[in-house]
Amino acid sequence: MINIMLAIAALVASPAMAQEYPAKPVSVIVPFSAGSASDVIARILLERMSANVGQRFIIDNRPAAGGAVGTAQGAKAAPDGYTILMGASGPLVVAKVLQPALPYDAEKDFDPIAMYGRLPNVIVVSSKLPIKTVPELIDYAKKNPGVGYGSVGNGSSQHLAGAFFEQLAGVKMTHVPYRVTSQLQSDLVAGEVPVSFQLLPNVISAIKAGQVRALAVANATRLPALPDVPTAAEIGVKGYESSAWFGLVAPRGTPRPMIDKLAAEVAKAMSDSTVRARFTDFGAEPMATSPDELGRFISAEVTKWKDIIAKAGIKIEN
């Protein structure tokens, strides 16, 4: 009888909970450093959500271990709707595959809210190389087996994008990991590492300066920031889609009315033309999914990258 009464009380309270929430500021853990690409687009979204809701969404940057530390803290937070997490592809998907001993599970420890943006990888080459198209790059790689491609580290979005390209294009390249992004950019411009699979914000200035040549975007559609650059599918590399994506998730057990309210506020914020323009100018693709859509997407990404990583033999060295 007590359980029945509690259930009835919860049903009665749900509409009121959704209407009143949030009644105080909401802390949003961003598991990356302030000023990073993930931090920048999170701030664009949350600034608009704060203005729309009338309560602050306060970013709490907790960078370490590729986002794993902050993500673990998000999983352990109280499921009361007042601490949520900016979830990202690295700590939620790639880490699940490469580091199964992590103290959280993307599919078990979080309730998805909404994906709001992604940064597709762009296939780029140094302008020092006489390569202007992806077919020319594939031909060059076949004639020069082991040609290097740079990334910001083992297991990074750039590394996995390169491995995926190798598999689809039927070429064998050499991964060259860097610890410092600025050094990678310098070597790419100089032609020391001739190829990379970069997120657009990292190379947009070099592309505009003619120091780096963009060959294709790893996305289903072209990017407004690079309207003349084709998608990989357009030039024959079917299925080549790779991006860093970002969404909001909550600790498992967060009341569904709160989840739905947050998802609705993400959709409202992302429908704002100014917000969408700021995303586009930054090289990000704006969007707003439902909680269920994000949940299905995360599961599909885990399956996809698990297969790619296994075929490439990628491992994280402890």
Q: What is the CATH number of the domain that holds 189?
A: 3.40.190.10
Residues 98 and 134 in one domain: no
Residues 136 and 198 in one domain: yes
CB neighbour class for 15 (10 Å; exposed up to 12, middle 13-18, buried from 19):
exposed
Q: Is 191 part of any domain?
A: yes
Residues 63 and 108 in one domain: yes
Residues 169 and 29 in one domain: no
Which pLDDT score is estimated for 18?
A: 58
Backbone φ and ψ of 313, nearest 5°:
70, 30
Alpha helices in the chain (DSSP H): 2-20, 37-53, 68-76, 89, 95-98, 134-143, 157-169, 181-190, 200-208, 256-270, 273-282, 291-312
CA distance 145 to 161: 18
Tell which residue, 157, 36, 176, 32, has the closest CA to residue 94: 157
> In total, how many domains does the chain have?
2
For tokens 């032609």, the residue is: 191
Residues 269 and 294 in one domain: yes
Tally Cβ neighbours within 10 Å of residue 92. 28
Q: Is 318 part of any domain?
A: no
Q: Is 9 part of any domain?
A: no
Residue type, 174: T
Last residue in a domain, options 175, 202, 235: 235
Residues 126 and 223 in one domain: yes
Residues 224 and 148 in one domain: yes
Residues 284 and 225 in one domain: no
Q: Is 18 part of any domain?
A: no
Q: Tally the residues of the chain.
A: 318
Cα distances (Å, whole numbers) of residue 315 to 92, 97, 103, 310: 17, 9, 18, 9
Q: Is 230 part of any domain?
A: yes
Q: Is 157 part of any domain?
A: yes
Which pLDDT score is estimated for 17?
A: 55
Going from the first residue of the chain to its last (318 residues), give the mean pLDDT of each consecutive group of 10, the final group possibly shorter: 42 57 98 92 98 98 92 97 97 92 93 96 96 96 95 91 97 93 92 94 92 96 93 94 96 98 98 96 94 97 96 83
Rounded to two decimals, the pTM is 0.89
| Domain, as residue range, for 207 | 120-235
Residues 152 and 220 in one domain: yes
CA distance 240 to 242: 7
Residues 173 and 134 in one domain: yes
Whichever domain contains 262, its CATH number is 3.40.190.150
Which pLDDT score is estimated for 4?
A: 41
Residues 90 and 154 in one domain: no
Residues 94 and 184 in one domain: no
Last residue in a domain, options 217, 235, 253: 235
CB neighbour class for 23 (10 Å; exposed up to 12, middle 13-18, buried from 19):
exposed
Which pLDDT score is estimated for 13?
A: 46
